[in-house]
């Protein structure tokens, strides 16, 4: 029995050592072909050079998930979603825990495949818990997907829970984007008073938030507030938007976020 136990112990030690060695090998490949090759190029005008670096790395080891993700990323930023997704699927295949949440985010914000995004993000929650990607929880992005699918009651529940969780349980700083989308769910459900109160919370944190001002103005209009006050608030929102004060998520430089207002010039 003792020999069997030692044999099993030795077997798992070998497995563990192999895993460490693989990770170190992957790190070396990433350093060589991403840090010291691809990132020496600007994919905006040197996409071929960027991709060639990553392809050389994949020749050494096609299971390095980060190389597949790095191949995908610039295509999403260029709005070549189907091209990028084919590579991102490979990243998920080789490291699901790291890249499945990212794929759910990409499907929600970039390629706008909302049902597929929900599937990915719900799997993330089931497997790994309600973690974060790009400053927000997986359930937050599911809430955005439901807004875009006109399932407003589901969106409201998720966004209410998200706001309550980050401010009560996680004790994080208040986030104007979180309030904005919570307000949007109320707006779509015609809960004008609640929506206005929540937009005001967003505006207290971010006074120039043009999108929040716009939807607050529409709520005023629905409540029958004097037209001149509505027009004045929309005018202020438009001026703020011209100065660049809109949804301030990092990826708004690449994509228009749900309900983000693009004012005509």
Instruction: Assign 165 a pLDDT band (cuts: 50, 70, 90).
Output: confident
Q: Residue 3's pLDDT is what?
A: 44
What pairs with residue 132 in β-bridges? Answer: 137
Direct distance between the N- and C-terminal alpha carbons of the chain, in angstroms, rounded to an integer: 81
pLDDT digits (tens, 9 = 90+) for 83-105: 999 999 999 999 999 999 999 99
Q: Residue 264's pLDDT is what?
A: 79
What pairs with residue 133 in β-bridges? Answer: 136
Instruction: Assign 166 a pLDDT band (cuts: 50, 70, 90).
Output: confident
* The architecture CATH gives domain 173-265: Alpha Horseshoe (1.25)
Q: Residue 131's pLDDT is what?
A: 93
CA–CA gap between residue 139 and residue 131 (Å, rounded): 9
Pick from 10-24, 43-57, 152-166: least confident: 10-24
Complete DSSP assignment for 87-149:
HHHHHHHH-HHHHHHHHHHHHHHTS--HHHHHHHHHHHHHHH-S-EETTEEHHHHHHHHHHHT
Q: 193, 164, 157, 197: which is closest to 180 by C-alpha? A: 197
Q: Residue 10's pLDDT is what?
A: 35
CA–CA gap between residue 162 and residue 179 (Å, rounded): 10
pLDDT digits (tens, 9 = 90+) for 167-216: 776 555 678 999 999 999 999 999 999 999 999 999 999 999 999 999 99
Taking the whole predicted model, whether its pTM rises above 0.85 is answered as yes
Q: What is the dihedral of CA 111, 114, 118, 120, to 10 degrees?
A: -30
């Amino acid at each position: 029995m003792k020999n069997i136990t030692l044999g099993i112990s030795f077997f798992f030690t070998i497995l563990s050592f192999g895993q460490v060695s693989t990770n170190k090998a992957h790190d070396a490949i990433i350093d060589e072909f991403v840090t010291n090759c691809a990132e020496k190029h600007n994919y905006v005008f040197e996409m071929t050079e960027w991709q060639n670096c990553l392809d050389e790395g994949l020749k050494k080891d096609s299971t390095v998930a980060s190389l597949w993700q790095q191949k995908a990323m610039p295509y999403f930023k260029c709005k070549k979603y189907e091209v990028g997704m084919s590579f991102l699927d490979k990243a998920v295949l080789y490291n699901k825990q790291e890249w499945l949440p990212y794929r759910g985010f990409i499907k929600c914000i970039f390629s706008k495949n909302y049902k597929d995004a929900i599937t990915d993000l719900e799997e993330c929650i089931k497997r790994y818990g309600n973690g974060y990607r790009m400053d927000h929880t997986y359930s937050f992005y599911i809430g955005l997907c439901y807004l875009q699918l006109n399932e407003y009651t589901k969106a409201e529940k998720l966004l209410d829970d998200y706001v309550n969780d980050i401010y009560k349980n996680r004790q994080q700083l208040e986030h104007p984007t979180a309030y904005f989308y919570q307000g949007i769910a109320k707006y779509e459900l015609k809960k004008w008073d609640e929506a206005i109160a929540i937009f005001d919370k967003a505006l207290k944190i971010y006074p120039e938030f043009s999108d929040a001002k716009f939807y607050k103005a529409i709520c005023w209009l629905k409540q029958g507030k004097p037209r001149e006050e509505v027009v004045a608030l929309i005018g202020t929102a438009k001026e703020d938007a011209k100065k660049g004060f809109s949804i301030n998520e990092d990826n708004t430089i690449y994509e228009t976020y749900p309900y983000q207002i693009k004012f005509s010039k």
